[in-house]
Amino acid sequence: MGMIGGGIGAFIGDAHRRASRICNDYELVGGIFDADQEKSREFAVSEGINLTRVYKNIDEMIKKELALPKNERMQVVSIVTPNALHFPFAGKLLKNGFNLVCEKPMTMTVSEALALEKLVKEKKLTFALTHTYTGYPMVRQMRDLIKKGVLGTIQRIDAQYYQGWINSIIYGTGSRITGVWRLDPKHAGVSSCMGDIGVHAFNLIEYTTGLEVKEVLSDLNSVKEGIKLDLDGTVLIRFSNKKLKGVIRASQVCGGLENDIIISVYGSKGSLRWGQENPNYLYHYSDTEPTKIYKPAHGYNMKNAEEAHTMPAGHPEGIYEALANIYKGAAKSIRKKKFDPCEFPTVHDGVRGMKFIHSVVNSNAKGNVWVKV
């Protein structure tokens, strides 16, 4: 594996490296870890990476890697840069035959996302998009229980993702605001809150239910004067079945909240609810039976959930393990082994995410009206 971005002090880069190690399918051999090559080399030394494979730019990396014998060159590259760099790097790497693991949102625009989807199909390569929450065993259990029909007719779907981290930024000095790339449209794209975390809630809805959101009506809020992007918002959602409706709520200004993502799917026979801050618990509610609680590493779980847990029963699993499950699924695909479609989000999920983000922004800009996704 090679990596672009994720150098000294980068939380997401560190998470990806830990995940790739946990699943025992990857060796990090080189990359471009920082725009400053000296910092990139400093990071490589700390990781024990050969400095001959620390590159100045993407073109040098591709040229020198392709010059190596096929069994020595990078098979897959992990892209963990700010959003604006995902598309140009991914495009060049795909054209030159590299499999990819990429952070979300996949691109800045829908047209860029569609271009990558076309490239992946043409080149017959693996593209894994790290919607990390799909890697949790109990999310996969939720998906398979819904597919099995245990909820009956689905009647409502709610998802929320609340954080509070950005309060300290927007109420600090002006320099602190301009120094955060997620608040800059040049680096983040058309959305901050919905583009960063709302899209996770959207992805979880489509992943667990197998349904596609067809229309959205959004109301976004930048919260404070001078902020160019949304920091809070509510999105009403519709599906093909006009009787089925739901809501996505996302915010980066909920003071004191950390990583509060919850998905609830309500059906005619019962309901399922899962929350990331207590990821080992999947709640199954019923009008006629006591509440059931599913946990990982038990024989009553379905196949995909059981294959996703890494710890024995009673030991908590967390975000690194969930991300590792996505890396594990991508490794199967790269090695041309059989894998279940639920094992990693693909370039198609990236296209769906970009369509959601842009539809939400358009709905808000047009005065909070319904917009087709």
Residues 113 and 262 in one domain: no
- Under a CB-based contact definition with an 8 Å cutoff, are residues 70 and 48 in contact? no
Residues 141 and 44 in one domain: no
What pLDDT was estimated at residue 276? 94
The domain containing residue 66 runs over which residues? 2-132
Over the stretch 75-116, which tens digit does the pLDDT of each residue have?
999 999 999 999 999 999 999 999 999 999 999 999 999 999
Within a domain: residue 342? no
What pLDDT was estimated at residue 177? 65
Over the stretch 207-220, which tens digit does the pLDDT of each residue have?
999 999 999 999 99
What pLDDT was estimated at residue 220? 98
Bridge partners, 261 (sequence order): 161
Above 90 in pLDDT, residue 180? Answer: no
Mean per-residue pLDDT, 65-70? 97
Residues 142 and 126 in one domain: no
Q: Which of 132, 159, 184 is the last residue of a domain?
A: 132
Residues 43 and 171 in one domain: no
- Pairing of β 260-267 and β 2-5: unpaired
Residue 178 banded pLDDT, cuts 50, 70, 90: low
Above 60 in pLDDT, residue 15? Answer: yes
What pLDDT was estimated at residue 176? 64
Within a domain: residue 322? no
Residues 55 and 128 in one domain: yes
Question: Which structure tokens are listed for 249?
Answer: 């709520």
Above 60 in pLDDT, residue 175? Answer: no
Residues 158 and 274 in one domain: yes
Residues 145 and 245 in one domain: yes
Q: Among residues of the chain, what percentage have pLDDT more than 90? A: 88
What pLDDT was estimated at residue 318? 83
Q: What is the CATH number of the domain that holds 231?
A: 3.30.360.10
Within a domain: residue 318? no
Mean per-residue pLDDT, 285-303? 94
- Pairing of β 245-251 and β 260-267: unpaired
d(CA 291, CA 109): 43
Within a domain: residue 268? yes
Q: Among residues of the chain, what percentage have pLDDT more than 70? A: 98
Mean per-residue pLDDT, 15-22? 94
Average pLDDT, the chain: 94
What pLDDT was estimated at residue 81? 96
Within a domain: residue 314? no
Does an H or E element contain 31, and which? Answer: strand 30-32
Does an H or E element contain 172, and which? Answer: none
Largest CA distance in the chain: 65
What pLDDT was estimated at residue 205? 98
Lowest-pLDDT choice from 293-297, 316-320, 353-357 = 316-320
Residues 157 and 278 in one domain: yes
Residues 291 and 158 in one domain: yes
Residues 234 and 256 in one domain: yes
Q: 173 or 287: whose pLDDT is higher?
A: 287
Above 70 in pLDDT, residue 65? Answer: yes
Within a domain: residue 18? yes
Above 70 in pLDDT, residue 49? Answer: yes
Residues 112 and 147 in one domain: no
d(CA 372, CA 158): 19
- Under a CB-based contact definition with an 8 Å cutoff, are residues 273 and 285 in contact? yes
Q: Which of 108, 132, 156 is the last residue of a domain?
A: 132
Does residue 367 come out as left (phi exceeding 0), alpha (psi in the -120 to 50 range) or beta? Answer: left
Residues contacting residue 364 through CB under 8 Å, at least 6 positions apart: 218, 219, 220, 230, 233
What pLDDT was estimated at residue 183? 87
What pLDDT was estimated at residue 60? 98
d(CA 128, CA 343): 9
Residue 307 banded pLDDT, cuts 50, 70, 90: confident
Q: What is the CATH number of the domain that holds 59?
A: 3.40.50.720
d(CA 249, CA 159): 6
Above 60 in pLDDT, residue 271? Answer: yes
Within a domain: residue 119? yes
What pLDDT was estimated at residue 174? 56
Does the pTM exceed 0.85? yes
Residues 187 and 271 in one domain: yes
Total domains present in the chain: 2
Q: Which of 132, 165, 198 is the last residue of a domain?
A: 132
d(CA 167, CA 109): 27
Within a domain: residue 371? no
